[in-house]
Amino acid sequence: MALFGIPDSFKVAGFHIRDVQNSEATPTLDDVTYAIEMMSPSIHGALRFCGLFIVGIAAQITIHESSPMFFGVFHLLPVSWLATRILVLLGVQAELVTRHLAQGFCRLDLSGVHYAVTHECTGIIAVFILAAAVMAYPVALRERARGLLLAIPAVTLFGVLRLVILGIVAQARPLWIEVFHVYIMELVTIAFAMFVFIYWVEEAHGRDRH
């Protein structure tokens, strides 16, 4: 609809501009969608990916919080158990107590000192991050499936390694456990997750070229 000869909306340099002063209508979802579509492909692609990534992470957190026992049995317990076995093989006096699993943690006894192993300790965030990033990336479904098959076992095994390292640090340098847990292992976890993600992105593009 035109008002005093000025159209309600018009395009300037690829953007959808609404004559806000003369129009009583507030921007609609269509306006926003159109504005995003008119952005440069660079920003449009990144915004779409980031939006889908947020949705993916939020969905996984919701599922995680609504069924903690599922993740306890299928992630926390196997990762903790395998890490404990490796610690024992490495000569660390380690024992895993699983009776607290329903409360969201396993107890790892290292030479008489008790540590609560939570989901956070097993690096489950890396699993969620990679799964969300793979699902959000603009690839065909079979590439996504290939990505998940690569990413989930890789970061789960990394979770085992992470717990083994934390166990060794807790045994050898107990005062360092906090900085290892909160900073160094978080940093290494994100680095490893992005290593796997970049590798998969490049592989997917390589297959596409061939």
Partner 1 sequence: MTDIDPALRKATAFLARFIVVAGVLYVGWAFLSALYLSTLAAVFNNLADESVQYAVFRDNLAIVYNDVQAKPLVLALADNDIFFMNLLVVVGLLLATPIDGSTLNRVGWTLGAGMLVWMTHLLSLFAGEYLVIWDFVDSLPGDQALSLGTAVEARFPRAQEVIFRAIFDRWRLWVRPTLALLLWFFFARGYLRLDVDTAPVGSNP
Using CB under 8 A, list all residues that contact partner 1.
Answer: 41-47, 49-50, 53-54, 57, 61, 120, 125, 128-129, 133, 137-140, 142-143, 178-179, 182-183, 186-192, 194-196, 198-208
Q: Which is nearer to partner 1, 106 or 143 (CB)?
A: 143
CB atoms within 10 A of CB 65: 9
Residue with the two structure tokens 């456990």: 177
- Joined together, the tokens standing for residue 80 give 């903790």
Q: What single letter denotes the amino acid at residue 18?
A: R
Q: Which is nearer to partner 1, 92 or 165 (CB)?
A: 165
Minimum distance of partner 1 from residue 55's CB (angstroms): 12
Minimum distance of partner 1 from residue 52's CB (angstroms): 11
The answer to whether residues 129 and 148 touch, using CB atoms and an 8 Å cutoff, is no
First-last CA distance in the chain: 50
The Cα-based distances of 186 to 40, 124, 163 in angstroms read 34, 11, 12
Q: Which is nearer to partner 1, 88 or 188 (CB)?
A: 188
Q: Which is nearer to partner 1, 87 or 105 (CB)?
A: 105
